[in-house]
């Protein structure tokens, strides 16, 4: 990513924060027929939803590289790209859980309510944690990459299932409002935040892959020495 | 809106810290990439000399 792109990303996310806290109107209070008991702090959602967007994007990127690894000549670089993307999906999943917990405390009175969506994101975190346990448990590099690539394909299917389909269509009771209609200001700020967070993910992915490639090159150099 | 000012300042400070940290890691990594790249090239050329590869 060029220096201009990085600086642009920094300014972009700063502007999203300014818009979130200063430009966005407060949500409709519960007393006036809205769904939020603390309308001013409902804007936390602008920092919560983009994390979930990134989890979905990162999961699909990791799945794409896992598929490439399995079908196109078992290139170790594809395995590295898939692994770093899973790590970032897990990181943004943790961020979504933390920001969601703060939102739940403010709006529903407790950090954790065992709401279907919260249970689903917890299961998703376990699925990502299992990936790293699996990775750590296999010594042979080629076997590890193959087994993990297959597991990533399973995780990719589970991510939208647990993040979207199950809580939206299968849960009968949930604190999360269904069919939420955001007004234009919230929708645009959410889109801008989503674009910024996806840009941040792309930058982190680039750094993590480069770091792994440097480690590989260094190990190769030491072997030759 | 005035009540949101302290939260905005905290959020901006946190983001500035995270952004500068990532930027510093990126710069450092570029530096290490140059060193490792140079070492690999030197290593390859010295091995080529040993084996007589032109």
- The model's pLDDT over A38-78, given as tens digits with 9 standing for 90+, comes to 777 778 888 899 999 999 999 999 999 999 999 988 889 99
Point out the least confidently predicted range of A8-17, A29-38, A92-101, A157-166.
Answer: A29-38
A14 vs B40: CB contact, 8 Å cut-off?
no
> What does the block give as tokens for B53?
């590869």
Q: Could you tell me which chain B residue has the CA closest to the CA of A40?
A: B4
pLDDT at B27: 95
Q: Could you tell me which chain B residue has the CA closest to the CA of A204?
A: B22
Q: How far is A133 from chain B (nearest CA, A)?
A: 26
Sequence ranges of the domains in chain A: 2-29+36-224
> What pTM, to 2 d.p., does this model score?
0.88
ipTM: 0.84
A218 vs B37: CB contact, 8 Å cut-off?
no
Confidence class of residue A6 from pLDDT cuts 50, 70 and 90? very high
pLDDT at A163: 80
- The model's pLDDT over A189-207, given as tens digits with 9 standing for 90+, comes to 999 999 999 999 999 999 9
B11 vs A17: CB contact, 8 Å cut-off?
yes
> What does the block give as tokens for B44?
């390859």
A6 vs B23: CB contact, 8 Å cut-off?
yes
Asked if A23 and A183 count as a contact pair (C-beta separation under 8 A), the reply is no
Which residues in chain B are contacts of A47 at CB distance < 8 A?
A: 11
pLDDT lower than 50: segments of chain B:
none
Q: CA gyration radius for chain A?
A: 20
Residue in A107, A117, A96 with CA at minimum distance from that of residue A28: A107
Q: Does domain A2-29+36-224 have CATH number 1.20.120?
A: yes
């Amino acid at each position: 990513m060029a220096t201009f792109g990085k600086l642009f990303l920094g300014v972009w996310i700063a502007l999203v924060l300014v818009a979130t806290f200063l430009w966005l109107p407060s949500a409709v209070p519960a007393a006036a027929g809205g769904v939020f008991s603390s309308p001013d702090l409902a804007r936390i959602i602008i920092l919560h939803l983009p994390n979930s967007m990134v989890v979905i994007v990162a999961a699909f990127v990791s799945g794409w590289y896992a598929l490439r690894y399995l079908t196109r000549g078992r290139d170790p670089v594809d395995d590295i790209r898939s692994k770093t993307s899973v790590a970032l999906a897990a990181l943004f999943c943790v961020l979504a859980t933390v920001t969601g917990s703060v939102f739940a405390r403010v709006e529903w009175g407790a950090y954790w309510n065992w709401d279907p969506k919260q249970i689903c994101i917890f299961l998703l975190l376990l699925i990502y944690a299992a990936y790293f346990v699996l990775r750590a448990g296999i010594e042979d590099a080629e076997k590890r990459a193959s087994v993990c690539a297959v597991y990533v394909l399973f995780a990719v299917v589970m991510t939208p299932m647990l993040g979207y389909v199950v809580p939206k269509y299968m849960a009968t009771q949930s604190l999360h409002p269904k069919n939420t209609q955001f007004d234009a200001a919230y929708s645009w700020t959410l889109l801008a935040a989503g674009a910024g967070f996806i840009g941040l993910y792309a930058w982190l992915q680039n750094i993590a892959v480069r770091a792994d490639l440097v480690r590989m090159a260094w190990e190769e150099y030491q072997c030759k020495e | 809106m005035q009540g949101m000012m302290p939260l905005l300042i905290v959020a901006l400070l946190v983001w500035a810290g995270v952004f500068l940290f990532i930027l510093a890691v990126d710069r450092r990594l570029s530096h290490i990439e140059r060193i490792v790249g140079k070492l690999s090239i030197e290593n390859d050329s010295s091995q080529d000399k040993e084996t007589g590869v032109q």
